[in-house]
Amino acid sequence: MRAVSTSTGDAPTRGRVLVVDDQRNMRATTAMLLRAEGYTVHEAGGGEEALATLASQPVDVLLTDLKMEPMDGLTLLRKGLETVSQLQVIVMTAYGSIETAVEAMRLGAYDYVTKPFKDGELVHRVQKAFERSKLVSAVNLFAGEFNSRHGLSALVGRSPAMHELTNRIIRVAQSDATVLVQGESGTGKELVARAVHAQSRRNKQPFVPVNCAAISETLLESELFGHARGAFTGAVKARRGLFEEADGGTLFIDEVTETSPAFQSKLLRVLQDGEVRRVGENSAIKVDVRTVAATNRDIEQEVAEKRFRQDLFYRLNVVTLRVPPLRERLEDVPLLAEHFLERANARSIRKKRLSQSAVDHLMTYSFPGNVRELENLVEQAAALAEADELLPEDFPLRPKRLADSNGTTRVPTTTPQPSLAQVVDEAERRAIQSAVERHPEDLAMVAEELGISSTTLWRKMRRLGIRTPASS
């Protein structure tokens, strides 16, 4: 950092921040914290006073509370940006008012912090806002729809990782960029894709999901691209594909890595040209679709191992949204558990509640099945528990090997235990691979040896990414 000495010999000035809060204590503490970091800090007890400061003093970052009288934070935000267009605004919001924070971001706020915040978190965000103010002379986040459906509020969690993810979603949603959502199974990738759509200008148009692993490849092709009448046996009528259905909106291509290179090159062409050709049809149809793809595999490894086309990877990966596994944000567990319990309670006459010991118990777990596993655990407990207060024994967790020698468990931080599905996958992969090596030219023989049908074999091979010497 540049060493600028001030007349008082204090730490160098890093930027000018205006702190606005009608609660004097809160304001003073925040200001003190930022001064200690070397910022020049102005304070204002309300919107009018803040606007007066903005009109008379240079300010890089405005940090404002949202709930204030008579001028609220959103109004201050709007008027502040009218006064100083390159101002970076961070709003302070109480937990549970994510809608207001989102609204603030739409109005042009740079970021938000949820109260109560940790000192380090606030300092970090102010620092980032200041860096941005140096980079950008005028940021215009006004564009776009204001009345979105706030798909973000479906995403529960206030860990720093989720906060970061929410911010990225809001930003990405402003553009039409193709998005690749990566994360382990059950982390919430589909919710993220929906939130991107809900926050985007396309939110009045359809969100169309398609799961590549759920249907055979030929079917997938005609599902996505549509087909002409008579294109294949059974195609008695022409049919629009999902790309056409999603016109104007968002197409969510789930488990995109579960497709063959041949299919991938067809998909790539559609994404490049912005037009689809129905199967058995020569003419192309223009489509205006934002694509969000998802995978729970390490896609870069899939590319390295030539199971996923690199050119398609680059095409899809314009923006990556990484959804962190639940074990890396265990602080979200209590909120998520409450959220799922509330949902279960809403469907039942008997209302259950979580005991602290149950929450503590859950927080020692590594959740190989991520949020979906927690959701299932809570639903089961709510349905089966005898008493109204849910106890640790109502949440039977899968055994973990991360127990200390004295038998007490600790919060797992490193290697997650493989889920049963992963273990089974691995065993299947090995069995199939060795059978394929024995009969490289004869898949029927492989199927017979393994005691499964050829269709099942084919499906498993595709899912597990096993190729025959002939197909590679």
Ligand X SMILES: Nc1ncnc2c1ncn2[C@@H]1O[C@H](COP(=O)(O)OP(=O)(O)OP(=O)(O)O)[C@@H](O)[C@H]1O
> Which residues sit at the interface with Mg ion, rule CB under 5 A?
190
Token duo for residue 161: 């990782």
Taking the C-alpha atoms of residue 464 and residue 461, their distance in angstroms, rounded to an integer, is: 5
**Cα–Cα separations (whole angstroms), residue 30 to 25, 44, 90, 118, 315:** 8, 12, 13, 11, 44
Q: Is 92 helix (H, G, I), strand (E, B) or coil?
A: strand
Question: CA torsion, points 115, 121, 122, 128, in degrees to nearest 10?
Answer: -130
Instruction: Determine the residue with CB nearest Mg ion.
Output: 190
Cβ nearer to Mg ion, comparing 15 with 157 = 157
Report in angstroms how near the CB of residue 161 gets to ligand X at its nearest.
11
**C-alpha 166, offset from chain centre:** 7
375, interface contact from Mg ion, ligand X, none, CB < 5-8 Å by kind: ligand X
Taking the C-alpha atoms of residue 167 and residue 189, their distance in angstroms, rounded to an integer, is: 15
The DSSP string of 135-175 is H-S------S-S----GGGGS---SHHHHHHHHHHHHHHTS
Report in angstroms how near the CB of residue 189 gets to Mg ion at its nearest.
5
Report in angstroms how near the CB of residue 212 gets to ligand X at its nearest.
11
Taking the C-alpha atoms of residue 1 and residue 134, their distance in angstroms, rounded to an integer, is: 14
Report in angstroms how near the CB of residue 201 gets to ligand X at its nearest.
23
Cβ nearer to Mg ion, comparing 197 with 352 = 197
Cβ nearer to Mg ion, comparing 190 with 331 = 190
* Residue 57 neighbours by CB under 8 Å, 6+ apart: 16, 18, 42
Classify the C-alpha dihedral 324-326-331-334 as positive or negative. Answer: positive
302, interface contact from Mg ion, ligand X, none, CB < 5-8 Å by kind: none
Cβ nearer to ligand X, comparing 277 with 339 = 339
Report in angstroms how near the CB of residue 90 gets to ligand X at its nearest.
23
Q: Give me the residues paired with residue 164 across strands.
A: none
Residues that bind ligand X (CB under 6 A): 155-157, 183, 185-191, 296, 336, 339, 371-372, 375
* Residue 307 neighbours by CB under 8 Å, 6+ apart: 257, 261, 465, 467
Report in angstroms how near the CB of residue 193 gets to ligand X at its nearest.
8
| Amino acid at site 355 | S
Report in angstroms how near the CB of residue 188 gets to ligand X at its nearest.
3
Cβ nearer to ligand X, comparing 42 with 329 = 329
Cβ nearer to Mg ion, comparing 43 with 190 = 190
321, interface contact from Mg ion, ligand X, none, CB < 5-8 Å by kind: none
Q: Give me the residues paired with residue 252 across strands.
A: 209, 292
185, interface contact from ligand X, Mg ion, none, CB < 5-8 Å by kind: ligand X
200, interface contact from Mg ion, ligand X, none, CB < 5-8 Å by kind: none
Report in angstroms how near the CB of residue 296 gets to ligand X at its nearest.
4
Cβ nearer to ligand X, comparing 336 with 435 = 336
Cβ nearer to ligand X, comparing 262 with 421 = 421
Cβ nearer to ligand X, comparing 43 with 190 = 190
Q: C-alpha angle 131/132/137, rounded to 5°?
A: 125
Q: Which residue has the tokens 């109260």?
A: 115
Report in angstroms how near the CB of residue 374 gets to ligand X at its nearest.
8
